[in-house]
Structure 1
Amino acid sequence: MEPLLYNLIILKEDYKDWVEAEQDEIDLKSVFKRFSTNHIFYKWHTCISENLLWIEDAEKFWDEFMFASQKCDLRANVNQIGIVTLKNYDEQKHVVFPKIYNFGPHNLFSIGIGRDIQAERQFRRKMRKLGNNVTFYGADPVSYINDDLYSRIGTYFPLALGAQSGISSAMVMIEDGGYRPKSMIHVDILYFFKNLLNVTIHKHQDYPERKTEFMVFVKRIIEEKRFGIFGGDQYIHNRMFLFNFESKYCIRKFLNKFA
């Protein structure tokens, strides 16, 4: 990578990190929130089922997802569980901080880096203020900038992750900052995850069949009644935040519930 470009990116990251630090005091208060987990999940699940499960057209489902998600987040007041928004330059990521001190280990996986680790830096800074250290792992098939950038906070893997190993198309960021479909070697994501705790997911819209896959994926999650799908957002692709309400480990670590 050109030294000047890299230095400009680092300076930009450092400046934004300094500005965002003022938000820490507000965000860290989220660890003290108390609420009825079952009530929140029931209200959210009822709302999202009513708004999405009846839709059969994948294009309509794709377009309606963000509005349904935001509507149901408000109706169920899901922010009570302590969801905190971390801002990248062109998107938002959502996290829930551990409610129990030093209940580790703490690992964060960035699947797709996109030359931007601002949210990861915010998470690291806030977690340190809570007395928690985080181990970061980042995967992106394009090593240009991403390798040097992510290596500042964690371990970088030049990989595309997918549902199964093999060669398939992926939307990747090219040198001019735009996105382009490209055939890439994918590695099964289960190599990275054994248990899904809480994670921000992006679903790209590069092909019409992907919208059908997205609809099937979201409907399955709703019908299984294990995960809450929060923070729906759309810019080029749909984004969402998933929390595992079935996992006793997740409930204890992130919501401080022992039942």
Structure 2
Amino acid sequence: MKVLLPHHFGDGPSRSPSCFKFLILTLVLLGFILLFISITRDSENLATPEKIKSSGKYEGHQIFKAFTDCVLPKLNPYRGNHDLFWSAFVNKTSECDNLKEYESLTIRPVANKDEVKFIILPNKETNITMVTLGIGHDVSGEITLKQIWPKTEFFGADPSSDINKDLYEKELGGKYFQYAVGGQNGMQEAFVLGKNEGDYRTKTVMHIGAEIFFRDEIKKQKIDILWMDIEGHEFPVMDMLHRDGPFDKKGVKICQINVEIHKDIDNGITGERQMFHDFVWKLMGDGRYVMVKPFSVWFYHDFIRTVLINVYDKECTDLYVK
């Protein structure tokens, strides 16, 4: 008589590896699916020629079209490679700095102690608002702007009041705020310039979101000129520039921006090259800003300076596009 045992000892070892392999394959497949969904979702936010061309016509349309027609073919080979994109951006974009369409913008250089910024002058007499985020012991550029355009109201923010407060209020005649302006509110770390030149240190200071600072602190819906050098905290502010972002929701329009874009500052921040790459492509998809006057700096840190000009919002184009 044959006896049926409740368990075949030969079956256990053969079934367990099969089940284990099936589980591993399932998890790997699920991982690929989630990665594909993530990449697809991110790519929807980046510019494509089709998205740009479907943006419609507006007063600065020809300026924006000329910019993208020139820049896109130069930058497309580096799309997806964040390191190469960072390295190539300045040289490739600067090749488009002398477009005929830019003749409708009155672009002027303004120097401070260690760099040259650029401003677009209004095409009629009017009062304008200028904001400095990150004063850095230097208001020589702001003083020159005041001489060029006396009808300028100045607001400046820097987490260190040493030197900066007196410079901005007494020498310039502006209004100073002791904040690190960025993407969030509350006490957080920031890379701050001390009393001595070059003495940058990480300190815990009061932060405020840029959209709140503009709308609720200085109570301005239109910022004509923004200069931003905030040591790594520029990325959350730059992200606010996109369509339907925090600035749009607060009704804040910014007409022109000089920004210093940092990488690996204090050896404590990573991923900036990818953030910059994604920002540029999404900005082109927005159809609002052109990027001009790029400049690379290799000092104790690697960073990029560039100027963003709003050629879409009527509040800006009426005043700055001839």
Question: TM-score, with normalisation over the residues of structure 2?
Answer: 0.61
Separation (CA, whole Å) in 1 of partners of 2:96 and 2:191: 29
- Counterpart among 117, 122, 142 of residue 144 in structure 2: 122
Separation (CA, whole Å) in 2 of partners of 1:78 and 1:161: 31
Matched, 1:109 2:175: no
Matched, 1:242 2:266: no
- The alpha-carbon distance between structure 1 residues 143 and 100, as it changes in their structure 2 partners (threshold 3 A), is same
Equivalent residues in 2 for 1:44-123 (5 A)?
A: 44-53=67-76, 54-75=78-99, 78=102, 80-102=104-126, 104=127, 106-123=128-145
- The alpha-carbon distance between structure 1 residues 155 and 81, as it changes in their structure 2 partners (threshold 3 A), is same
- Counterpart among 139, 149, 166 of residue 148 in structure 1: 166
Q: Which residue of 2 aligns with 1:215?
A: 277
Separation (CA, whole Å) in 2 of partners of 1:246 and 1:202: 23
> What amino acid sits opposite 2:271 in the alignment?
E
> What amino acid sits opposite 1:231 in the alignment?
K
How far is 1:79 from its partner?
A: 5.2
Secondary structure of the corresponding residue to residue 196 of structure 1:
strand
Secondary structure of the corresponding residue to residue 204 of structure 1:
strand
Q: Which residue of 1 aligns with 2:210?
A: 189
> What amino acid sits opposite 2:256 in the alignment?
N
Separation (CA, whole Å) in 2 of partners of 1:245 and 1:37: 5
> What amino acid sits opposite 1:192 in the alignment?
F
How far is 1:100 from its partner?
A: 1.4
Q: Report the aligned-residue RMSD.
A: 2.2
The structure having more radius of gyration, on CA atoms, is 2
> What amino acid sits opposite 1:159 in the alignment?
Y
> What amino acid sits opposite 1:187 in the alignment?
I
Separation (CA, whole Å) in 1 of partners of 2:206 and 2:153: 25
Contact conserved, 2:130 with 2:154, CA < 8 A, in 1? Answer: yes
> What amino acid sits opposite 1:215 in the alignment?
H
- The alpha-carbon distance between structure 1 residues 242 and 213, as it changes in their structure 2 partners (threshold 3 A), is same
In the alignment, structure 1 segments of 5+ residues that lack a partner are 1-35
Secondary structure of the corresponding residue to residue 308 of structure 2:
strand
Equivalent residues in 2 for 1:150-165 (5 A)?
A: 150-152=168-170, 153=172, 154-165=174-185
Contact conserved, 2:60 with 2:312, CA < 8 A, in 1? Answer: no
Contact conserved, 2:163 with 2:195, CA < 8 A, in 1? Answer: no
> What amino acid sits opposite 2:212 in the alignment?
Y
Q: Which residue of 1 aligns with 2:256?
A: 198
Contact conserved, 1:232 with 1:239, CA < 8 A, in 2? Answer: yes
> What amino acid sits opposite 2:132 in the alignment?
S
Q: Which residue of 1 aligns with 2:9?
A: none
Moved over 3 A (4+): 36-40, 166-171, 179-185
How far is 1:226 from its partner?
A: 1.0
How far is 1:93 from its partner?
A: 1.3
Contact conserved, 1:41 with 1:76, CA < 8 A, in 2? Answer: no
Deviations 1:41-73 (A, max 9, x none): 322111222222442222222222221221111
Which moves more between the two structures, 167-176 or 80-89?
167-176
Separation (CA, whole Å) in 2 of partners of 1:223 and 1:78: 20
Matched, 1:177 2:161: no
Separation (CA, whole Å) in 1 of partners of 2:75 and 2:186: 32
How far is 1:137 from its partner?
A: 0.3
Q: Report % sequence identity.
A: 27
> What amino acid sits opposite 2:192 in the alignment?
V
Separation (CA, whole Å) in 2 of partners of 1:111 and 1:213: 20
> What amino acid sits opposite 2:71 in the alignment?
I
- The alpha-carbon distance between structure 1 residues 184 and 210, as it changes in their structure 2 partners (threshold 3 A), is farther
- The alpha-carbon distance between structure 1 residues 52 and 181, as it changes in their structure 2 partners (threshold 3 A), is farther
- The alpha-carbon distance between structure 1 residues 141 and 76, as it changes in their structure 2 partners (threshold 3 A), is farther
Contact conserved, 2:68 with 2:284, CA < 8 A, in 1? Answer: yes
How far is 1:175 from its partner?
A: 3.3
